Amino acid sequence: MGTPRIVDSHIHCGVQHSELPFERIAPLLAQAGIADACLFAPVEDIYDRDDYHFQDNDAWQRTRRAANRYLLGLAEQDASIYPYLFVWNDFAVDELRHPYRGIKWHRHSCEPEYHYDDPRCAAMLEAITRRRLPVVLEESYANTLRFIEQLAPEAVIVIPHLGGLNGSYRALESAGIWQRANVYADSALASTVDMRHFVERYGAGKLLFGSDFPFGTPAQELRKIQRLDLSADEYGQVVGGNILRLLAAVTDR
């Protein structure tokens, strides 16, 4: 078996409110031997995370669109980049006309909330599910359960940090979330203890390598995967095979 193709499935990249241009990221990937990257806009380019009562407006929608389109532009120049659409409360389903390869759906419990009862939310989730776009879902514990069990039960879900910011790994396990066939986890900033338990219980086919740059470093987070003592086949799945399989299933309809 040859050297596996390594994909960092969790990187923040943007140039408006954060200094995270791809030119800063590319050398770190090359140094770690990582071939491909899934890129999300930084939260700071999507909404005002410091204002719990934040209300969306035209200016923020323009900033958000520019942040997402920046990633599309990078992907046009480099086939090893997979741009994700960061969704917020405008639920801009028309953006799915563009070749995004996944979805970022993110908030913390102290931050402004998604308007889940907005009919546009249901329309967006239906379109995402139909296209088989993997959704990197970072939400409160209660909203994570609601999203997976009620709002988008058939969507492809990737819970980052092995659930560390979605209520905790063990809480999601107790709720039966990891057992669901359509739910995956990424390894970004997670402990090797939880990673080993996850692989042993749910299989290497459900774990995706990610660094969460700039909060984690690609090389350091990859070394954590290497310390798991996985078989060659399991290692290949985790560091790239799993996310490439999910990306290959995305459809434009």
The mean per-residue pLDDT over the stretch 211-240 comes to 97
Residue 70 pLDDT greater than 70, yes or no: yes
Instruction: Evaluate if pTM is beyond 0.75.
Output: yes
The mean per-residue pLDDT over the stretch 217-240 comes to 97
How far apart are alpha carbons 171 and 190 in whole angstroms?
A: 15
Residue 2 pLDDT? 73
Residue 220 pLDDT? 98
Residue 137 pLDDT greater than 60, yes or no: yes
Q: In terms of pLDDT, which residue wins out, 1 or 97?
A: 97
The mean per-residue pLDDT over the stretch 191-202 comes to 98
141-173 pLDDT, tens digit per residue, is: 999 999 999 999 999 999 999 999 999 999 999
Residue 253 pLDDT? 82
Q: What is the DSSP string of the chain?
A: --PPPPEEEEEE-BSSSS-B-HHHHHHHHHHHT--EEEEE--GGGTS-TT-TT----HHHHHHHHHHHHHHHHHHHH-TTEEEEEE--TT--GGGGGS---EEEEE--TTSPPP-TTSHHHHHHHHHHHHHT--EEEE--HHHHHHIIIII-TTS-EEEGGGGTTTT-HHHHHHTT-TTSTTEEEE-TT--HHHHHHHHHHH-GGGEE----BTTS-HHHHHHHHHTT---HHHHHIIIIIHHHHHHHT----
Q: Please name every residue paired with 37 in a beta bridge, in sequence order, or none if there are none.
A: 8, 81
87-129 pLDDT, tens digit per residue, is: 999 999 999 999 999 999 999 999 999 999 999 999 999 999 9
Residue 1 pLDDT greater than 70, yes or no: no
